[in-house]
Amino acid sequence: MSDSINPTPHLCREKVRQTALEIAQAKFGAKKHRVGLSFLQRIDDLTIAAIRQQVSGQSHAGKTLL
């Protein structure tokens, strides 16, 4: 096990990488081959913001986030 801290704890980095490269290939052709850590960190930040927004929009009734 590594002692390093995961810089993108809310992501499955391989799935994000695969999806990003598929979209990039469709848009740019074969020009893009790598996904940088800064890209992954931005996606992680956006994921946290989306989760926060969805939770904030929930009613206070009940025990389940819908």
Per residue in 2-58, pLDDT tens? 557 888 999 999 999 999 999 999 999 888 899 999 999 999 999 999 999 999 998
Q: Is residue 63 part of a domain?
A: no
Q: Is residue 44 part of a domain?
A: yes
Q: Is residue 22 part of a domain?
A: no
Torsion angle, alpha carbons of 48, 50, 52, 56, to 10: 180
pLDDT for res 4: 74
Q: Is residue 48 part of a domain?
A: yes
Q: How many domains does the chain have?
A: 1
What range does the domain containing 51 cover? 31-56
Q: Is residue 36 part of a domain?
A: yes
Q: Is residue 38 part of a domain?
A: yes
pLDDT for res 3: 54
Q: Is residue 18 part of a domain?
A: no
